[in-house]
Chain A
Amino acid sequence: MNEPAEPRFGQHLRHQVPLLLWLVVVWNLLWGTWSWANLLSGIVVALAVTLLLPLPPVVGGARLHPGAAVVFLVTFLGDLVRSGALVAWQTVRPRGIAHSAILRVQLRTDSDLLLTVLTEAISLVPGSMVIDLDRERRELALHVLHVDDERDLDRQRASVHATEERVVRAFGSAEDIARLRERPMARPAGTPGRTS
């Protein structure tokens, strides 16, 4: 699979296939009806888009673990609803929000694709939004809408790690999953907790 002698074009194509499929699906969904004409024109459009507007390939790839993916999706949808309702309530309640916080969380994942999924998921779960991602150190900086005290911060960190674990178990490769068992770090090294 990972032969170094593999021609560049073939590798390129292999990376593009998921994107091509996705574009064809979108094209067909936009037309709303199924027909061979739609399928063929979709393929033409997808090829044109990928050739005219090339994107950098997504390295690493992903595997799908169906059971874990269902767990992830269901939890994600639950979180989405909870988070929407919670933020809506925090908006309208008379006392509003008190303090926010910007946290840094050390991650264990080292794959662009997984980090992207994770970041999207975290931005939509209750309370948190990603501000910055230090790719080299695998550190995520996130803004938390409402915190009362240090315990809320710890809870937020734990929830990020839980989300990370669900994402990796759903879409990660064996190495990614193995990496989860590295020590679960509560705090990034060299950054003592501080209140300012």
Chain B
Amino acid sequence: MSDLHALADTVAVVCLLLGSLLCLTAGLGLVRFPDVLTRMHAGTKPQVLGVLLIMVGGAIRLQGWSATWMLLLVAVFQMMTAPVSAHMISRVAYRRRHVRRDLLLVDELGAGHREAGTPHGDEPADAATARGARGPAGYGQGSLG
């Protein structure tokens, strides 16, 4: 019985440590990556996996269904919301030209792919003149949503 407990504790500790490590790399990614879009990758994937591992570790260690259910909910909502928020931020960042275009191999969403004159509510504010010119015209116009 105590063997089983020790084993469960070990698994829990491993999960918790791995999860914390992944969350650390998520934070590190925010510092190391060059622009908003790449930072969002760091902010979603290792972080979600980290939270999931911490939840698993917590569920093993806490022993008790009521805590487990709660942790399960946290995990589910984390998986549902993290991509959505990352998507929203990336979308705004793309339209606001907070993108390092020199680091993009391909940008198929950019200028030239949508016919001029077609009304497109989703069009990035000014993909055609995107080279770092951030005049007042870029701001203020182009409502989001």
Which residues of A come within 8 Å of B, CB atoms? 26, 28-33, 80-81, 83-88, 91-92, 96-104, 119-120, 123-124, 126-127, 129-132, 134, 141, 143, 145, 147, 149, 153, 188, 191, 193-196
Contact = CB atoms under 8 A, between A and B. Distances in A.
A119 B113 contact: no
A29 B41 contact: no
A100 B38 contact: yes
A12 B87 CA distance: 30
A135 to B, nearest CB: 9
Contacts of B41: 87, 127, 129, 143, 145
B106 A196 contact: yes
Interface of B: 21-22, 25-26, 28-29, 32-33, 37-38, 40-42, 44-46, 48-50, 52, 65-67, 69-70, 72-73, 79-80, 82-84, 86-87, 90-91, 94, 103-110, 113, 122
Q: Interface on chain A toward B: helix, strand, loop, or mixed SS?
A: mixed
A30 B50 CA distance: 22
Contacts of A96: 32-33
A84 B79 CA distance: 12
Contact of A91 (B25, B65, B113): B25
